[in-house]
Amino acid sequence: MSEKQATLNYFAGFVPAMAIFLGGSLGLAWLDKNAGLPDPVMIALAIVPIVALLSMFWLHWRFLQEIDEYLRQIQINALLCGAAVALAIATGWGYLEKYSDLGALPVFWLNPVFWVAYGIAATVFTRWAGRR
C-alpha cells in the first residue's frame, strides 16, 4: 500500500474518532454540569469517548503496519517522544504535588499532551528526514 493511501485510510478513521472523542468529552462535561444524571448513567456514557480514544490508538497501529520501515521508524520515534513528554509531565507534576502545595493535575490532560507532543515530534522528524 502506498504512503498516500495509508495516510488517507488513517485520517478517514482518525478524524471521526477524534470528533466522537471530543464531542463525547464535551457532552459529558455539559451533562455533568447541567443534567444531574446518576453516576451509573454517566459511567455508561463515559464509555463512548473511551472507545473513541482506543480506536485512535488502534488506527495508528494499523497505519504503522501499512507504511514502509523508514516512515514507520519516524512514527515510532515520534510516538516515543509523545509518551516521554506525557510521562515526564505526569511524573514531574506528581513530585511537585507530593513535595509542595500544588494541586492535582487532572490526568485527563495527559491524552491531549501526548497527541500534541507526538504531532510536533512527527513534524520535526519528518522535516529532518527531508520529507514534507
Torsion of CA 33, 38, 44, 50, to 10 degrees: 30
- pLDDT, mean of residues 14-33: 94
- Buried b / exposed e over 108-120, threshold 16 CB at 10 Å, is eebeebbeebbee
pTM attached to this predicted model: 0.82
109 secondary structure, DSSP code:
G
Q: Rounded CA gap, 51 and 53, in Å?
A: 5
Q: Rounded CA gap, 43 and 23, in Å?
A: 16
Residues 46-105 have pLDDT tens digits of 999 999 999 999 999 999 999 999 999 999 999 999 999 999 999 999 999 999 988 888
* pLDDT on residue 2: 86
* pLDDT on residue 130: 80
- pLDDT, mean of residues 121-131: 89
Helix (H, G, I), strand (E, B) or coil at 1: coil
Amino acid at residue number 92: G
In the predicted model, is pLDDT for residue 132 greater than 80? Answer: no
Query: In the chain, what is the greatest distance between 2 CA atoms, to the nearest angstrom?
Result: 53
Q: Rounded CA gap, 17 and 76, in Å?
A: 21
pLDDT band at 18 (very low <50, low <70, confident <90, very high): very high
Contact 21, 51 (CB under 8 A): no
- pLDDT, mean of residues 106-118: 92
